[in-house]
Amino acid sequence: MDNGPGNRPGNNTGDVFYLTGFSNLGVHRRLLSIPFFFLLVYMMGANAVVTYVIAKQRTLYKPMYVLIGSLTLLNFFFPLLFIPRMVVSFASGLNGITAVECLLQIFIIHLCGSFQTSILLQMAVDRFFAICWPLRYHDIVNLRNSVLFTAALALRNTATMIAMVCLFVPLTFCQSNVIYHCACVATLACGTSVRSYLAGIMAFTITTSDCLIIAATYVVIFIVIFWSSSGESRQKAIHTCSTHLLVIGVSYLSVVCAFIGYRVSAIPQDIRVALTLSYLFIPSCFSPVIYGIRTNEIKVHVLKMFKVNAAVDIKNT
């Protein structure tokens, strides 16, 4: 396996790092390429189906469904950032990655993660106005306001992640160029400088702030639901909100797992790697399933699409 020359100074962005996660498995590490490949196919397929259905059906051209489609589209491309490299690494033992590529991977992964939480925040805001101010919903949640809100979040996310990566660049990288991980999701710099602390804080600021706003928003939403709604309208609102809360719960649970895996050194190495990777896998795996099963408008069109395709296949045979 191409695990690199061992330890050598890593003082600039021209250095090569070696991502050797799960190498404790020895020769059996190669076998991991099989489940990860099929996992990639599943994630891309499931998210592509939901995105396609929303894009094709004009009846789903509503703010909430557009946001769901944006989330599944993001979850479609997200795995492409790291799983193909992991599969190649497992299958061939070629684990090398340059510092520039590693910094770029950190930037893109964290940027996509920040956009994921931003979409969840937009969903919460959409439900807030739909339930708390239903008569003014279409006046507030219009195209202009949606574009402005999305642009503000995009600018915030991009500026924060660029600043975070810029803080990494001047730092001295670890003396060991062998990193026991499968993706560049952890800090490469050594020591506990102010820059590394600040970069770490910036990485979690967006997720934490969005989480707090989402939590506060749904507290207000459920107060309004149980205070003023009744009968069928209450059940419909609870069903819709609980679907979004399931997706939010899955997303933030994966963040907690990644944080535990990154910070708790007592956990065995391979389990730590698996926990930190959960942040990259879990949302893309479960979000399309949750929306595909619990959102009737999407489920109906997905089933219809597969029934049509099945009928065409039978006719062709």
Summarised one tens digit per residue, pLDDT across range 91-126 is 998 898 888 888 888 888 888 889 999 999 999 999
Whole-number Å distance between alpha carbons of 128 and 236: 14
Residue 58 backbone class (left: φ over 0; alpha: ψ -120 to 50; beta: rest): alpha
Q: Is residue 4 part of a domain?
A: no
Max mean pLDDT among 151-155, 158-162, 170-174, 238-242 falls in 151-155
pLDDT at residue 41, rounded to an integer: 94
Confidence grade of residue 10 (pLDDT, cut at 50, 70, 90) = very low
Instruction: Summarize the confidence of residues 267-285 as an average pLDDT.
Output: 87
pLDDT at residue 279, rounded to an integer: 81
Look up the pTM and report it.
0.85
Q: Is residue 5 part of a domain?
A: no
pLDDT at residue 101, rounded to an integer: 86
Q: Is 21 helix (H, G, I), strand (E, B) or coil?
A: coil
| CATH code, 105 | 1.20.1070.10
Q: Is residue 9 part of a domain?
A: no
Q: What is the pLDDT of residues 185-229, one digit of tens each?
A: 655 545 445 666 676 677 778 888 999 999 999 999 999 888 876
Q: Where are the beta strands (DSSP E) in the chain?
A: 16-19, 96-98, 178-179
Instruction: Summarize the confidence of residues 19-48 as an average pLDDT.
Output: 92
pLDDT at residue 67, rounded to an integer: 93
**Percent of the chain topping pLDDT 90:** 35
Whole-number Å distance between alpha carbons of 280 and 292: 20
Instruction: Summarize the confidence of residues 66-85 as an average pLDDT.
Output: 91
Q: Is residue 66 part of a domain?
A: yes
259 compared with 29, residue with greater pLDDT: 29
DSSP state of 98: E
Q: Is residue 257 part of a domain?
A: yes
Its domain, for residue 230, covers 16-316
pLDDT at residue 9, rounded to an integer: 40
Query: Chain centroid to CA 49: how far?
Result: 18
Instruction: Summarize the confidence of residues 71-96 as an average pLDDT.
Output: 91
pLDDT at residue 265, rounded to an integer: 75
Q: How many CB atoms lie within 10 A of CB 75?
A: 25
Q: Is residue 46 part of a domain?
A: yes
Q: What angle do CA 136, 141, 146 make, to 5 degrees?
A: 160
Number of domains in the chain: 1
**Phi/psi of residue 74, each to 5°?**
-60, -40
pLDDT averaged over the chain?
83
Whole-number Å distance between alpha carbons of 312 and 317: 9
Q: Is residue 7 part of a domain?
A: no
Q: Is residue 160 part of a domain?
A: yes
